[in-house]
Structures are given as C-alpha cells and as structure tokens.
Amino acid sequence: MTNANPLDDTTTGRITQALALAAYTATPDYIHNKALRTLAKLGITTTALGIISYANLQDDNPDNDPQAMLGRLEAELAAQDSELSPAKTYLLLLGICLAVGVVGKIDAVLTNKITRLLRRAGVRKPHTLLGALAGVVVYAASTSEKRG
C-alpha cells in the first residue's frame, strides 16, 4: 500500500526530514545569537520544504497528486461542513494552537534539562547529539511507516 503522506512518500523526503530536524535541533551549539539562530532555523525549514516538495513533484504516485489530494480534501470538508459550526471550528483552532504552545514549552524545558545533563556528562555539543538522535528516529519511523 502506498503512503499518501507526501512527506514520507519518497526516500529523498524522508532523508530531508531527518537531516532538517537534526540541523534545526543542533543550531544552538553553533549559532549563539538568538536572532541569527531564528533566521537559520527559518532557512533550514524553508530549504527542507522546498526539497521535499521537489521530490514529491518527481514522484508518480497518484495518491499524492495535488489535484487528487485537493479533491479528497474538498470531499472531506463538504462532508464535515454540516458537522462544524463556525464557533466549533474556531474553538477547535484555538485548542490546537494552545496544544502546540504547551507542547513547545514542554519541549523547551525538557531540552534544557537534557542538554544540561549531557554537558555535565562531558558532551561538548549536546544539541548536536539530540539532533542526530532525533534525525535517526524520524528517518526510522517514516521508513517503517512506508514499509508497513
């Protein structure tokens, strides 16, 4: 069965996701200025999305054809149109935004604690180590999902 998730549909896309996450996570070890680090992270994200998009354009899988995906999305939205009122839609959006904010805060706290422990253990570039581990996990998970 073909995975309809375009991010995981090509080997290039899976490798790009893993490398982008590793680079994104490692930036604090190499760029100490917060503004420059934010620009670097934006560049990493933009580049990764561009490469993944290009890889998916080269793919001939009909399940991730933009027109087919748009058609499926429109059909799903039409089916859900009667289910969600504007108030429910905005509450759902607010809930998602709050969840993303909370998860981001938890991630920041855990990352700080883990990097502090790694530094005490003698790791000179703890963010790089965490990025490499995260990249391996993302690649393994997306590859296993593709095969499964």
Share of the chain above pLDDT 90, in %: 53
Give me the pLDDT at residue 107, please: 93
CA 105 to centroid of chain Cα atoms: 16
On the question of pLDDT at 123 being above 50, the answer is yes
- Looking at the chain, the number of H-run helices and the number of E-run strands are 5, 0
Question: Both tokens of residue 63?
Answer: 């399940």
On the question of pLDDT at 121 being above 80, the answer is yes
Q: Compare 48 and 8 and report the one with higher pLDDT.
A: 48
Give me the pLDDT at residue 103, please: 96
CB 7 within 8 A of CB 13: yes
On the question of pLDDT at 2 being above 50, the answer is no
Residues in the chain: 148
The confidence band for 147, taking pLDDT boundaries of 50, 70 and 90, is confident
- Domain limits, the chain: 6-84+127-147
The single residue listed with the structure tokens 């793919």 is 59
Taking the complete model, does pTM exceed 0.75, yes or no? Answer: no
Mean pLDDT within 55-80: 73
